[in-house]
Chain A
């Protein structure tokens, strides 16, 4: 398993990503990002090379920053909801 990065850190990155992603006001971006984060962690679950794990971890952290910024921007320029959101 992850020799470099403790499992707890990976788990908390996942949680932070999911939490931030949920804040996307835009339906399309929110759904995509939730799916993408989940699938990325699923996909890399079996990684054993610490170097690769570190690389992916860094990429995840970078994306967390991006999501945080983009959530704020999306919040500033909101639009009407999609028909599909109003259905539920």
Chain B
């Protein structure tokens, strides 16, 4: 509305000027006078972008920068060692194969697996597809039921949708208002027909951490395969596939400061989990994922996992420090800020906040010099509120006013301070112009208002 008025007023005045130049002068003076007055009064709410430079990066859940140490490990394979890792007849192949196998070991070490249980893929989406569709198809004759949650990543939900079309039965478990599933719900959902349970470790939008070890124990007891999408969790929180009874796990390269376009799938050998491959071809990666393994990317993934293994405690402590600092700053200046997701069982680097009475998209626009997102990058083009927030029962208006602050290894204290300050300033500014906020300040309960239909 504000924008419309702003755009119209110059046009109107121009038209008036052209039509009757003498009379209008007085009117225009009045208008300009008024504007001048309001300007000085609202100086602190003005939307000015005097800052220059690249925006700060606060979207670590979408992707992370490649760590220089990872790039350093990759470069030799981009510059010199170009052999096909599957070539067995010459040294070029052997060099590359050695790189790939070393990376396989590095990935396996991070999750306590055997290197033979790691399959390289193009990313977590492919890993999720192989896991969900692959297991479902392989065990289809006897078992045609899959359990997942409502807050899974799009690629798991979409794979399930595709399976539904083929006649599979899917149970989408609801989550509590804190974003965590109820274990008794899970147990009730399992039937002798169930072949797979797929539940993500850390949610990409709200950062909540599911009780993976407990879910694993339940699945083991019922002899059902357990798949977890750990793209957001790996290298950030400790994961051990054996103690947590995980049968399949998806890993992504670019969420852990590795390159994009590479991921891995952990797939248990004892007891053996069998999947029907999606891609037909040369039978690489034990026949589960045909196609030449991209040596430089895989080496990068390995290096990233190795680093994550080394740096996990250090990075986690830093994340906690930054998150606490950021939240303290926000909470000390702003009221009506709701953190989405459980505050305790969460990954501290993912802060999803709802600023009540502020429209999320306008806040994102105002915070031009910080790279932020209202939810997952896959759905950032749409203005629809996120399905994850709807699943945790966030009110429609709060879901529209949520923003995800993603902290990473390279985020600095100054960046956090800058972003917190900017956020506070713009939330205050936007609230000041919101009639809803005015009503709240006057003590009107917004929920009781009967909005007239139009």
Contact = CB atoms under 8 A, between A and B. Distances in A.
A30 to B, nearest CB: 10
A28 interface: yes
Report the interface size class on chain B: 20 to 34
Nearest to A66: B72
Given A32-B412, A80-B54, A83-B54, 17 more contacts: A28-B65, A28-B410, A29-B68, A31-B412, A33-B68, A66-B68, A70-B72, A73-B68, A73-B71, A82-B53, A82-B55, A83-B369, A83-B418, A84-B415, A84-B418, A85-B53, A87-B418
A70 B53 CA distance: 23
Interface in A44-88: 63, 66-67, 69-70, 73-74, 79-87
A82 B56 contact: yes
Nearest to B368: A83
B137 interface: no
A70 B54 contact: no
Which secondary structure characterizes the binding site on chain A? helix
Interface string B277-315: 000000000000000000000000000000000000010
B68 A83 contact: no
26 contacts: A27-B412, A28-B65, A28-B411, A32-B409, A33-B68, A66-B69, A66-B72, A67-B68, A69-B75, A70-B69, A73-B71, A79-B54, A80-B53, A81-B54, A82-B54, A82-B55, A82-B56, A83-B51, A83-B52, A83-B54, A84-B53, A84-B415, A84-B418, A85-B53, A86-B51, A86-B52
B68 A84 contact: no
Interface string B379-422: 00000000000000000000000000000011110110010000
Q: For B57, B369, B412, B415, which residue has the most chain A Cβ atoms within 10 angstroms?
A: B412
Interface of B: 51-57, 65, 68-69, 71-72, 75, 314, 369, 409-412, 414-415, 418
Contacts of A67: 68
Interface residues of A, number: 24
A81 B68 contact: no
Contacts of A70: 68-69, 71-72
